[in-house]
Amino acid sequence: MKTQEFIDRVEELSIKFSREFGHCDLATLNFKPDEKSWSIAQILAHLIKVNESYFPLFTQLQEGKYSLPVTGRIGFVVNFFGKTLLKSVQPETKKKSSTVPGWKPAKETFSEEILIEFNEVQEALKNHIENSEVLLHQKAIISSPANKFIVYRLETAFQILVAHEERHFQQAKRVLEIEQSHL
């Protein structure tokens, strides 16, 4: 996939989130179907945290300062982790997965500003993608911000981020449907 295709997908997701949830009031954004579920605002906060956790790695790669862990030099490991992670975040994957503690929403309730912050992070993500064209052609490898020994291609990282956002968009839509059914 080329950088423009990734940028277009991120832009499409930004528009989808804004259209679907931009009209929501504070109560709707912070509504949780149950104690174990996240609200729409918490989902957005989670996406912000995940995306931002990649930014320092992208910058290091772009500046030629990235230090690849030893696992990144083992081709089958790179391919295995990339395929496994990408499969796990696909929207059609029904298995619920838990997130690492650092990517969990920091609080229970958020203001309407969470959508603005999400869109700002989306813009930053698009900029990182745009600045990565050469790295994509070089088949650059990056590690997960959650665990430096989990490695995959930069292209796969972008695919993971886009699929992850789409998966959580579907989750947020389900939360909105549940909230509206309580009215």
- Output the 3-class SS for the chain: CCHHHHHHHHHHHHHHHHHHHCCCCHHHHCCCCCCCCCCHHHHHHHHHHHHHHHHHHHHHHHCCCCCCCHHHHCHHHHHHHHHHHHHHCCCCCCCCCCCCHHHCCCCCCCCCHHHHHHHHHHHHHHHHHHCCHHHHHCCCEEEECCEEEEEEEHHHHHHHHHHHHHHHHHHHHHHHHHHHHCC
Question: What's the number of domains the chain is made of?
Answer: 1
45 located within any domain: yes
Phi-psi category of residue 122: left, alpha or beta, with phi > 0 → left and psi -120 to 50 → alpha: alpha
153 located within any domain: yes
Which residue did the predictor score with more confidence, 152 or 91? 152
| pTM to 2 decimal places | 0.95
Distance CA(107)–CA(114), nearest Å, equals: 12
**What confidence score (pLDDT) does residue 168 get?**
96
Return the percentage of the chain with pLDDT > 90, whole number: 85
167 located within any domain: yes
pLDDT per residue as tens digits for the range 141-159:
999 999 999 999 999 999 9
**What confidence score (pLDDT) does residue 93 get?**
76
160 located within any domain: yes
31 located within any domain: no
**What confidence score (pLDDT) does residue 146 get?**
95
**What confidence score (pLDDT) does residue 47 get?**
98
pLDDT of 1 higher than 70: no
Tell me the residue range of the domain where 155 lies.
3-21+37-94+109-181
**What confidence score (pLDDT) does residue 160 get?**
98
pLDDT per residue as tens digits for the range 60-70:
999 999 999 99
Q: Give the number of C-alpha atoms closer than 13 A to the C-alpha of residue 165, restricted to the C-beta side.
A: 25
Mean pLDDT across 175-180 = 94
CA dihedral 138, 59, 85, 110 (to 10 degrees): -150
The CATH number for 130's domain is: 1.20.120
28 located within any domain: no
